[in-house]
Structure 1
Amino acid sequence: MREFGYQRASDVAGAVALLGADPDTRFLGGGTNLVDLMKTGVERPARLVDIRELPLGEIESTADGGLRIGATVTNGDLAAHPEVRRRYPALAQAVLAGASGQLRNMATVGGNLLQRTRCGYFTDVTKPCNKRLPGSGCPAVTGDHHNHAILGASENCVAVHPSDMAVALTAFDAVVHYETADGPGESPLGEFYLPVGDTPHRETALPPGALITGVTLPPAPVAAHSRYRKVRERASYAFAIGSVAAALDVRDGVVHDVRLALGAVASRPWRAGAAERVLAGAPATTDSWTAAADAELAAARPLPHNGYKVTLMRNLMVAELTRLAEEAAR
């Protein structure tokens, strides 16, 4: 590991200034991803700026009935918050599915949004990787890719985004807020993660030198009737091989509102817009759930060893929509 300096930030503007003064600086929240990458040599910052004491650790209701979540809120506090559990249960479930209690008590919301891919080629500095070294190639395309992308990938990168929390936030149209040297800014989460294209090293639309200060969830009555389902290769905590965040409002046997986002299928959390459009005003039946899943997965382009994800994701979407519809009928 490269030697690095350490400094605590006392205010948001000061933290942004410290990063702006040295592009080889990184912000440190819980460190559950960054420190691991430093140990493997993927990240080699000259200085860490600790932001955990900044006043960004609250969860508050907004005037319009949504929630604002500070960037340094721990994953543990987020999952336990009564308003999150009541208004956005899929978000609480996603966070609980994401890691052990020890990690949840350290990891922060801002850090979770920015965690890097867990592709073995990315984390092994002896291997080429376009995310780590643009232009060096993507060996996963012809190598080990059984847990890689089936949607939105390119020949330059087939890795998937690892966050469970971000999948639920995507389903509920979350907005990311940040601070730069020029002032505050914001980005809808649906636009925050960039398509992989031919620049897989550019993962987000966050401006250089920016600090995430929080996330806003707009009011969404349908979100109170939501679930998050994650499938992994072992029963203990592991990254998803497929996941879905689903919310459903059924009235008189017809879909009134629906939200769907998929995880572990693309380089970013995948909003299932095609499926949502099929379900708008459709009868709340198994045939509708299946048609919606098929419409979304029609764009899937699996690799030789991850085609199972197409069937997995179809089954996940149908199962969770069925369960939500059954709960609504009780």
Structure 2
Amino acid sequence: MKEFSYQRATDVEGAVALLDADPDARYLGGGTNLVDLMKTGVERPGRLVDVRELPLDRIEPTAEGGLRIGATVTNSDLAAHPEVRSRYPALAEAVLAGASGQLRNMATVGGNLLQRTRCPYFTDTSLPCNKRTPGSGCSAATGEHRNGAVLGASAHCVAVHPSDMGVALAAFDAVVSFETAEGSGELPLADFYLPVGDTPHRETALPQGALITAVTLPPAPVAARSRYRKVRERASYAFAIGSAAGALDVADGTVRDVRLAFGAVASHPWRARAAERMLLGQPAGEAAFAAAADAELAAAQVLEQNAYKLPLLRNLVVSLLTELAEEAAR
């Protein structure tokens, strides 16, 4: 591991100033991803600025009726919070599905959104990877890509984003707040992650040196009836090979509102807007759910080893939405 300096920030302005003055510095939250990448040489910061002690660890209601989640809230505290569990249960389920208890106790909300792909070619510095070394090539495209992206990828990168929490946040139109040396800003999660294109190393739209301060969930009555479902290759802690966050509001057997997002299919949590549009006003049944899934996946581009993801996601959507529809009918 490269030698680095360590400094603990005492306020948001000071933390931002430290990174503004040192482009080689990085923020340190729980460190569950960054420190691992430092050990393998993927990340080589000259300084770590510890932000865990900043006053960003609260979950509070907003004046509009949503929730504001501080960036240093741990995943454990997020999943256990009564307002999250009652008003956005899919978010609590996604967090609990995302890691072991020990990791959840350390990992933070801001860090979760910024975690980098677990593609084996990205973490192995002896192999070409455009995300790690721009222009070197994508080893996964012709190598092992069983968990590669099927939506929104490019010839330059087929890696998927590993976050479970991010999938639920995407379904509920979360907004990311941040602070820079020039002032405060916000990014809807839909605009937070950049398209892969030919620059997969540029992952988010955050300005250089920006510190995530909070994630805000707008009011969403439909979210109270929501679920997160994750498929993985073993029952113990593992990254998804396909996942979905869904919420459904049904009146007289007809879909009145729906939210749907996928995980492990793209370089970012994937909001299934085509499926949502198709479902509005339709009978809440398996046929409509399957047709909506097919509409969302119509743009998929599969590789030799990951075509299984299409039927997996289709079945996942049908199962999840059917469960929610049956609950609504009780």
| TM-score bracket, shorter-length normalisation | over 0.9
- Name the CA distance, whole Å, in 2 between partners of 1:174 and 1:286: 28
Q: Deviations over 1:205-232 (max 9, x none)?
A: 0110100000000000000000000000
State the match for 1:68 in structure 2.
68
- Name the CA distance, whole Å, in 1 between partners of 2:290 and 2:53: 48
Computed over aligned residues only, the root mean square deviation of the Cα atoms, in angstroms, reads: 0.4
Look up the equivalent residue of 2:199 and give its one-letter code: T
State the match for 1:313 in structure 2.
313
Does residue 23 in structure 1 map to residue 23 in structure 2?
yes
The alpha-carbon deviation at position 5 of structure 1 amounts to 0.2
Q: Deviations over 1:85-131 (max 9, x none)?
A: 00000000000000011000000000000000000000000001000
State the match for 1:280 in structure 2.
280
State the match for 1:111 in structure 2.
111
The alpha-carbon deviation at position 184 of structure 1 amounts to 0.3
- Output aligned runs, 1:232-271, within 5 Å: 232-271=232-271
- Name the CA distance, whole Å, in 2 between partners of 1:30 and 1:301: 35
- Name the CA distance, whole Å, in 2 between partners of 1:120 and 1:32: 17
State the match for 2:219 in structure 1.
219
State the match for 2:174 in structure 1.
174
- Name the CA distance, whole Å, in 2 between partners of 1:50 and 1:268: 26
- Name the CA distance, whole Å, in 2 between partners of 1:193 and 1:92: 22
- Name the CA distance, whole Å, in 2 between partners of 1:59 and 1:215: 10
Q: Deviations over 1:137-179 (max 9, x none)?
A: 0010010000110001000000000000000000000000000
State the match for 1:231 in structure 2.
231
How many residues get paired? Answer: 330
State the match for 2:299 in structure 1.
299
State the match for 1:125 in structure 2.
125
Does residue 52 in structure 1 map to residue 52 in structure 2?
yes
Look up the equivalent residue of 1:155 and give its one-letter code: A
- Name the CA distance, whole Å, in 2 between partners of 1:206 and 1:316: 32
- Name the CA distance, whole Å, in 1 between partners of 2:284 and 2:11: 50
The alpha-carbon deviation at position 285 of structure 1 amounts to 1.2
The alpha-carbon deviation at position 286 of structure 1 amounts to 1.0
Tell me which stretches of 4 or more aligned residues in structure 1 moved more than 6 Å: none
State the match for 1:205 in structure 2.
205
Report the 3-state secondary structure (helix = DSSP H, G, I; strand = E; otherwise coil) of the residue aligned with 1:327: helix
The alpha-carbon deviation at position 81 of structure 1 amounts to 0.1
State the match for 1:329 in structure 2.
329
- Name the CA distance, whole Å, in 1 between partners of 2:287 and 2:232: 27
- Name the CA distance, whole Å, in 1 between partners of 2:153 and 2:319: 26
- Name the CA distance, whole Å, in 2 between partners of 1:2 and 1:196: 29
Q: Deviations over 1:268-297 (max 9, x none)?
A: 100001100100111111110011000001
- Name the CA distance, whole Å, in 2 between partners of 1:271 and 1:206: 20
- Name the CA distance, whole Å, in 1 between partners of 2:170 and 2:106: 23
Structure 2 unmatched runs, 5+: none
- Name the CA distance, whole Å, in 1 between partners of 2:154 and 2:161: 14
Look up the equivalent residue of 2:245 and give its one-letter code: A
Report the 3-state secondary structure (helix = DSSP H, G, I; strand = E; otherwise coil) of the residue aligned with 1:64: coil
State the match for 1:80 in structure 2.
80
- Name the CA distance, whole Å, in 2 between partners of 1:194 and 1:123: 20
- Name the CA distance, whole Å, in 2 between partners of 1:100 and 1:132: 27
- Name the CA distance, whole Å, in 1 between partners of 2:193 and 2:312: 24
- Output aligned runs, 1:34-53, within 5 Å: 34-53=34-53
- Name the CA distance, whole Å, in 2 between partners of 1:145 and 1:202: 21
State the match for 1:100 in structure 2.
100
- Output aligned runs, 1:138-157, within 5 Å: 138-157=138-157
Look up the equivalent residue of 1:110 and give its one-letter code: G
- Name the CA distance, whole Å, in 1 between partners of 2:298 and 2:72: 38
The alpha-carbon deviation at position 25 of structure 1 amounts to 0.3
Look up the equivalent residue of 1:21 and give its one-letter code: A
- Name the CA distance, whole Å, in 1 between partners of 2:128 and 2:21: 30
Structure 1 unmatched runs, 5+: none
The alpha-carbon deviation at position 72 of structure 1 amounts to 0.2
TM-score, reference length from structure 1:
1.00
Look up the equivalent residue of 1:37 and give its one-letter code: L
State the match for 1:33 in structure 2.
33
- Name the CA distance, whole Å, in 1 between partners of 2:221 and 2:328: 14
- Name the CA distance, whole Å, in 1 between partners of 2:285 and 2:265: 25
Q: Deviations over 1:227-286 (max 9, x none)?
A: 000000011100000000000000001000000000000001000011001001111111
